[in-house]
Structure 1
Amino acid sequence: MKGSPRKGKDACSQPPRVHVLCLQISAQDQSGPVLNFARELEKLPVSNFTILALNLNAEGHVLAAFVSRILGMHHLQTSIQRLKVVLCNWSEMSKCIKHCPCNEPKNWRSYIISLTRLEEVEIYKFRGGDHEIDLVTMILSWAPMLTRMTIRLTHEINPSDIGDCAKSIYKICFGHPFVNSFVYLSNGELVPCSQM
């Protein structure tokens, strides 16, 4: 029993284990299956991911529907605490091609996903399009424990659109007073909500 106190002491000095799932998703053309990750994710030996990082490069697909399909997987709903979404090369389109699996079912905007442990969200290269705004709105409504939402605008955004984009984001976030919301330019400069 001499070793017991030492083991306890060492156990306390060990950092907690964090499981990160990083998905690099590319769908450059509009043919073939776009989103059939559920079966593949179920095969992974660890399912309690605390951080989910999505690097999306999927031109021509509905962003919010696409991400909601991923977040709707049960083991992600109940485990992720941080969500990071990077919109690498996302082109804004009003709809996917006919019969695109990421836009099915058509009523995806009315889905309720319970992200019970999600506390922090970061979205990078945000352009301010309708589907990106949909994504922010849905995440805020799905995550009752959310405390921080950070959005970093793309350097490609037209300078004259920055104010309107930030205003739209802050307006949505004001409906969730317990969430600290921040909008940054691509250079790291904070876009204050006072510009509303």
Structure 2
Amino acid sequence: MDLRARGLHLTVLAKPYSSYVPFRSLERLSLSGCHIDLATFIPFCPRLRVLRVNTTGLIDMSNIAVQSASLEELVVEHGNRWTRRTHVSVDSPVLKQLTASFHACGNIGVSITAPMVEKVWWRCSYAKPICGLGLWGLSEVQLPSVHVLSLHLSPVQDSVIFPNAELSFGAEIDKHMVTNFSGLDLHLSTKGHVFGAFVLHLLGMHRIRTALRNLKIVLLRSEVKDACPVNCFCDEPKNWRTETITLADLENMEIEGLGGEDHEFDFLEVIFRCAPMLKTVTVRLSDGVTPSVDWCTKVNNIFMAYPSVECNADLVSRAKAVC
């Protein structure tokens, strides 16, 4: 049996018992704009396999609690940008597919127990960064697939200070780790800033350093060229170019959106030096940037220093740069 409901306000007072289970045959349930206590209602559906919930526009539906022994697929769309606190709790031992999208204005609590999950798509967007490292604030966390963690970050105003930055940043990421990851995608809105010090700080965190096998960095640039302010601390600490971190399991790296700046080459050299198991490296220029002879020379010099690594320098169009 399938059930679709929109704009329903349901209050369940009784508890299911052996002789009375009102939705015994229900296998698929779709709820949109419905005020319902899922923690109370779901036990009435012992055969439920698919649950779709859209709470967009419902102020008092900030807590999503699902406990089901039969549920195999769960889709949650929580689009309330003004919710100060959101809590998501899922306990489903046979869940195979999880899709969830949230907007968080404040703290978000996550508790997921789904040992059999095979497919994951997870996104949490923050109305404003509530944690970050140095200049960079976290604006979105995604799990686009089971073993990939995607972080979206951008520079914040100078007046923003993140207390206990590294601890808070790590704890916020851990909330969303529905599954273990081996791939990290970083989407950075650079706005003219140096990113090397920050990325190395991030990669040096134990949770990331010990899991990382595949790294993809996407540098997002505005159409208007931004300039880094004088004495900006984005390049701090200055010794990041000679820093050594252990990326023992990193095998593949891809960087998109390079602008041909010196600090980008510096970062590339650090990664080569710190990742002894590196197998492939691909770099792509930003849209509208033409590779100069100097750019090609610098890239080739770095690549030639590591002949065991398969290296590629591509244009945005995916046409191979002639270097």
Please tell me the TM-score bracket, short chain as reference.
Answer: 0.7 to 0.9
SS at the partner of 2:187? strand
1:172 partnered with 2:172: no
User: Which is helix-richer, 1 or 2?
Assistant: 1
CA RMSD of aligned residues (A): 2.7
Q: Which runs of 5+ in 1 are unaligned?
A: 1-13
Match of 1:163 in 2: 293
Alpha-carbon distance change, 170 to 46 in structure 1, aligned in 2, over 3 angstroms: farther
Partners of 2:195 and 2:235 within 8 A in 1: no
The one of 17, 26, 33 equivalent to 2:154 is 26
Q: Deviations over 1:124-161 (max 9, x none)?
A: 0111101111111111111111111101111221x3x4
Partners of 2:197 and 2:237 within 8 A in 1: no
Larger RCO: 1 or 2 (CA < 8 Å, sep 6+): 1
Q: TM-score with structure 1 length normalisation?
A: 0.76
Q: TM-score with structure 2 length normalisation?
A: 0.48
Alpha-carbon distance change, 38 to 145 in structure 1, aligned in 2, over 3 angstroms: same
CA distance in 2, matches of 1:187, 1:130: 23
Match of 2:311 in 1: 181
- In the TM superposition, residue 111 of structure 1 has moved relative to its aligned partner by 1.6
User: Which is strand-richer, 1 or 2?
Assistant: 2
Partners of 2:196 and 2:235 within 8 A in 1: no
CA distance in 2, matches of 1:18, 1:116: 22
1:132 partnered with 2:260: no
Aligned length: 174
- In the TM superposition, residue 175 of structure 1 has moved relative to its aligned partner by 0.8
CA distance in 1, matches of 2:174, 2:231: 26
Partners of 1:18 and 1:51 within 8 A in 2: no
Alpha-carbon distance change, 164 to 92 in structure 1, aligned in 2, over 3 angstroms: farther
- Structure of larger gyration radius: 2
Alpha-carbon distance change, 127 to 58 in structure 1, aligned in 2, over 3 angstroms: closer
Give the counterpart letter for 1:106 in structure 2.
K
Q: Deviations over 1:69-97 (max 9, x none)?
A: 11111121111111000000275649762
